[in-house]
Amino acid sequence: MPSHLLDDLRSFLDRDQIAASDAILDQHARGESFDQAVRPEVVAFPKSTEEVAEILRYASQHGVPVTPVAVNSSLEGHTVPLHGGISLDLARMDRILAFSPEDLLVVVQPGVTYPQVNMHTRRSGLFFPVDPGAHASIGGMIATNASGTAAVRYGVTADYVLALEVVTPSGEVIRTGSQARKSSSGYNLSRLMCGSEGTLGVITEATLRLSGLPEAAAAARVPFVTIEAATHFATAIIQAGVPVARCELVDAASIAAINTHQDTEYPVEPTIFLEFHGNGPGVEADVAVAADLAETMGATAFEASHDEASRERLWEARHNLFYALVAANPGARNITTDVAVPISKLPYAVDRALICCEREGLRAYALGHVGDGNFHLCIFYRDGPEAEAVERVSHAMVMHALESGGTATGEHGVGIRKLKYMAAEHGPALPVMQSLKRVLDPAGIMNPGKKLPD
């Protein structure tokens, strides 16, 4: 790495676009929920596509690693500059460039967060429905193909990407896709970039499809005596074809933590949270079907809520769950697992994972997007033997998910943590992926050490 990196960057970036202070290097040394910290040599804050291109041209010529970051809400170590070099902070590329309500699309820079998109488009009756629950940046959401609570109805981030502007590792600016809602032209480079975790180039602009805000919505809280009964209900409602907009599991321990944190009095039972979107009569009918099914399957209650205020309070609880859990476990480290399995296999996968935790004496909370077969255990632990136990549980969950036809990561991405499972998950397809990486990033500068093993 050139020792004059800082000076070189100063030749084409303003003084306030480059930082190497201890505070800023530390801030860019790690992500959320991933312990390893490695400082970059320098943090660059580009404000334009051209500046990103200049940085990448320089970096590829000099073999300098580049690690893109914006909000830094990654859970799997994506933003750790493992090999030093440049931390490319895109937070200042935060403009909404165009909004076309009549085409149901918006064009944004990568540092824009999805709540910002929704604040901007809501008044036109449109929204970006992907809702991962952190104030994630659009660039980061595309890079990990984030999804979250609404994916069961609306799909994942990639489903909303019509077009991208991407700076390739050599510093060339390309555009993928178009503003048309569908196309069979060329190879789908947009989709290749979605979920590439900053290893194939830098996303500098995204054209996103929007959905119409539902005319009506309802929410329901459906507690059960056992977690098996709750997950069986979740899979049954999907199998019955009820078009739920959200279908979330929150286990009893999490409900207790929410009650403490938010001063609520939800019954401390494993609970499925549902949301329904549509027109008024359609939503009523969906709620009725869900209520019937819940009763048949042994729910201890079915509390539906139609007014916006109570609906939002209910979902606020789910969104703030992570903070409630952290508050309930002061001083402990935490890890959030992220497997997804075919939905019929979800009840057993959750049950098995919790038993593994019990066997290890670990304190775990089960939650997640059970309508998609994707669930998380949030495990709190302390360094030492507990950390090793967490690793055993996490490993057992991934191997079980793969044996069940599932995936090591439903939505958080591979980052560093899941690298070791790529060979098992992808088999002979892994060398094909590695060949794509080599041809698209021959200098190997883009986020090295992430997404794919070397």
Site for a second copy in 343-402 (CB under 8 A): 343-345, 372-374, 401
- Residue 79 engages a second copy in binding (rule: CB under 8 A): no
438 binds a second copy (CB under 8 A): yes
Residue 407 touching a second copy (CB under 8 A): yes
Residue 21 interacting with a second copy (CB under 8 A): no
Output the smallest distance, CB 415 to a second copy, in A: 10
Q: What is the helix (H) or strand (E) element at residue 423, kind and residue range?
A: helix 422-426
Is position 61 an interface residue for a second copy (rule: CB under 8 A)? no
CB contact burial 178-187 (16+ within 10 A = b; e otherwise): eeeeeeeeee
Give the shortest CB-125-to-a second copy separation in angstroms.
Answer: 7
Q: Is 54 in the site for a second copy (CB under 8 A)?
A: no
102 binds a second copy (CB under 8 A): yes
- 341 lines the binding site for a second copy (CB under 8 A): yes
| Total residues binding a second copy (CB under 8 A) | 102
Which of 371-397 are b and which e, b meaning 16 or more Cβ less than 10 Å from the residue's Cβ?
Answer: bbbbbbbbbbbeeeebeebbeebbebb
Binding segment (CB under 8 A) for a second copy, from list 30-38, 85-93, 112-120, 139-147:
139-147
Which one, 173 or 268, has the nearer CB to a second copy? 173
Distance CA 80, CA 84 (A): 9
Count of alpha carbons within 13 angstroms of residue 204, beta-carbon side? 25
Q: Is 100 in the site for a second copy (CB under 8 A)?
A: yes
Amino acid at 98: A
Specify the residue for token string 């460039």.
97
Helical residues (DSSP H) of 145-244, grouped into ranges? 151-154, 189-193, 227-239
Which residues within the stretch 175-214 sit at the binding site for a second copy (CB under 8 A)? 175-176, 178-189, 191-192, 194-196, 200, 211-214
Q: Of the candidates 105, 150, 247, 353, which one interacts with a second copy according to CB under 8 A?
A: 105
Q: Is 433 in the site for a second copy (CB under 8 A)?
A: yes
Token pair belonging to 35: 């312990």
Q: Is 292 in the site for a second copy (CB under 8 A)?
A: no
435 near a second copy, rule: CB under 8 A: yes
Nearest to residue 245, comparing CAs of 291, 213, 293?
Answer: 213
Q: Are 218 and 282 in contact (CB under 8 A)?
A: no
Q: Among residues 135, 279, 313, 395, which is the contact residue for a second copy, using CB under 8 A?
A: 279
* 444 near a second copy, rule: CB under 8 A: no
**Closer Cβ to a second copy, 4 or 181, answer by number:** 181
For Cα atoms 179, 158, 105, give the angle at the middle one, nearest 5 degrees. Answer: 35
